[in-house]
Amino acid sequence: MSHKATVWAIQQRGLKPATKIVLWFLCDRHNPDFGCFPTQERLAEDAEMSISALNAHLAKLEELRLIHRVRTHDPRTHKRQATRYILAFEEGFPQDPCPESGDGVSGTEEERDDTPSPETGHGANSGFLANPSPDFAQSHLRNPETNLVREPLSKPVKEEEDAQAREAEFDRFFAELLTALGFAANATLPAWWQGWPARTHVRRWIDDLGLSQQRILEVALETRADHPNPPDGPKALDRFMERAAQRDAQTAIANAKSQKAKRRRKREDPPRLSDDEKAAFYAKMVNADGFLPVSAINNSIRDLMLVRGLVTPERLRLRGVR
């Protein structure tokens, strides 16, 4: 990791969020002594996007002249080697030819070879050997059926739009989080809150702890009661977020147990009698000659029996029910 490279990436303006993510992770893989040689698979995994989306962002960064890709081949096997990414702030970054005169150079030393052509004595060689690829003798390109890195023919528009929408939503949430922590809207943020490292740290509260964006904002506001000054960085809030996740998990377990107990009690409780069943049960007691407690029949039961014609008023008076 190169601190100089990642700081440079953060300072770039005018990029779409997903494109800036790719630039930052590319700089994160930069080595000041040896350069930058990450594979597409590694960059796609870092940036959490498909290789096809990654290539679109790399092409945009190259178009904006923030990076330059150098593709080389092994001189013996003629197979492609790892692509080298040269960042715009590095020495040796190729310069555009002058638009008025055409003077200048447009490639790196690895891509240029000023040796004249042995056939004509003029011009310059390309720097690559003329032997065909061992996989496909009629072409200098590798056989696409055996190429491990397959470039898509078209850009997955829907996937790109979804990724941009998710980034826009996260940007809105991150701004609300900063406000909840006490940062002014136009204030200069401390270093620990700047750039994609801080955002990646906040994402872990969602991905690893299972907290929702709303829950994170609630916890952030709770911390202001005891710590009115904004924290130095997201790491200072880790223990608060972990405790909130633990409390939420305990509450969820308790609620699940309560619901389970309610369902168990409901299964164990005997079914309630309907009005017809109640009326028939007590009418049988009234019409019989056995002992009938005075308090056994209340007004509601009496009315149920009379409406259904199960007993007569005379029989009720005879049995002492008024």
Other Cβ atoms within 10 Å of 18 Cβ, number: 21
Contact 127, 111 (CB under 8 A): yes
Contact 74, 81 (CB under 8 A): yes
Instruction: Tell me which H or E stretch contains 70.
Output: strand 67-70
- pTM for this predicted structure: 0.37
Residue 93, Cβ density class (10 Å: 0-12 exposed, 13-18 middle, ≥19 buried): middle
Contact 23, 170 (CB under 8 A): no
Contact 24, 10 (CB under 8 A): yes
Cα dist from 111 to 40, 84, 94, 108, 250, whole Å: 21, 11, 10, 5, 61
d(CA 46, CA 177): 24
- pLDDT over 90, % of the chain: 22
> In the prediction, which pLDDT does 156 show?
55
Per-residue confidence band for 31, with pLDDT thresholds at 50, 70 and 90? confident
In the chain, what is the greatest distance between 2 CA atoms, to the nearest angstrom? 135
Side-chain half-sphere exposure of 296, counting CA atoms within 13 A: 17
Amino acid at 167: E
The predicted-structure confidence for 165-196, as pLDDT tens digits, reads as follows 888 899 899 999 999 898 887 778 888 898 88
d(CA 266, CA 252): 21
The predicted-structure confidence for 92-150, as pLDDT tens digits, reads as follows 788 765 444 444 444 554 554 444 444 444 444 444 444 444 444 444 444 444 444 55
